[in-house]
């Protein structure tokens, strides 16, 4: 990344963070649901017009629920890594599903048509669901994009938080999500360590 591109990138991150702090209502989400708890159910509209539920998204091994969006620089930085993980682990029994809980009135870039275009442009290998009311993110206690919740086949949470430790793929030292996915595939969810990390990214733009 050139010096100019790096400066523009971090300026975008700053703007994103400031916008989030200004637009969030006084009461935002609770803490992320605890590891071991049952994940809240949902049924939301996918970019292809179909309705997708958590029950229909349960894989033979488990499910990864990703709270993300179009506009956030953090979400964009992680998108290719999530696609790669989906291509690796969906064939091993873990279904992926992405949810955008931003209010399009606050962030028009996260509206349904823009989500459809993003999914097509990136050839997303998983559903991309709209939750403009934000109630599903609130139910999960998600506050950032991206933020992930890994569930076992009984829909119990086994890992929550970040994807890894660096937005720059080449500088990643700790592959938290990949490690958790691997342990779940191996049938060793008890060995996931850590089971919860602090997600970092743009704040979810909840409807006021």
Give tens-digit pLDDT for 15-47.
444 444 333 333 344 588 999 999 999 999 999
Predicted local confidence at residue 120, as pLDDT: 97
Q: Which domains does the chain have, with CATH numbers?
A: 3-203 (3.40.30.10)
Average pLDDT over residues 66-93: 97
The whole-chain average pLDDT of the chain stands at 89
Residue percentage of the chain with pLDDT more than 70: 86
Q: What is the pLDDT of residue 31?
A: 83
Q: What is the pLDDT of residue 208?
A: 83
- Return the exposure string of 77-110: e unless at least 16 CB atoms fall within 10 Å of the residue's CB, then b: bbbebbbebbeebbeeebbbbbbbbbbbebbeeb
Residue 168 has pLDDT above 60, yes or no: yes
Residue 14, pLDDT > 70, answer: no
pLDDT for 61: 98
Does the pTM surpass 0.85? The reply is yes
Q: Is the pLDDT of residue 142 over 90?
A: yes
Q: Where residue 66 falls among pLDDT bands split at 50, 70, 90? A: very high
- Going by C-beta distance under 8 Å and a sequence separation of 6 or more, which residues neighbour residue 139? 33, 40, 42
> What are residue 65's DSSP bridge partners?
97, 149
* Tens digit of each residue's pLDDT (9 = 90 or more) over 101-134: 999 999 999 999 999 999 999 999 999 999 999 9
């Amino acid at each position: 990344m050139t010096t100019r591109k790096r400066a523009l990138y971090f300026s975008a991150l700053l703007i994103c963070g400031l916008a989030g702090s200004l637009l969030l209502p006084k009461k935002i989400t609770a803490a992320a649901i605890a590891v071991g708890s049952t994940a809240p159910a949902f049924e939301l509209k996918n970019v292809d017009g179909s309705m997708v539920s958590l029950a229909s998204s349960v894989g033979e091994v488990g499910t990864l629920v990703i709270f993300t969006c179009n506009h956030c620089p953090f979400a964009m930085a992680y998108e290719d890594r999530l696609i790669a993980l989906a291509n690796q682990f969906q064939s091993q029994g873990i279904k992926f599903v992405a949810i955008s809980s931003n209010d399009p009135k606050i962030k028009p870039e996260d509206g349904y048509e823009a989500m459809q275009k993003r999914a097509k442009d990136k050839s997303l290998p998983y559903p991309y669901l709209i939750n403009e009311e934000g109630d599903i993110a609130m139910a999960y206690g998600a506050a950032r994009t991206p933020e992930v919740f890994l569930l076992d086949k009984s829909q119990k949470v086994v890992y929550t938080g970040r994807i890894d430790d660096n937005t720059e793929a080449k500088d990643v030292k700790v592959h938290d999500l990949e490690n958790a996915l691997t342990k779940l595939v191996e049938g060793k969810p008890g060995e996931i360590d850590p089971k919860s990390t602090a997600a970092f990214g743009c704040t979810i733009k909840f409807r006021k």
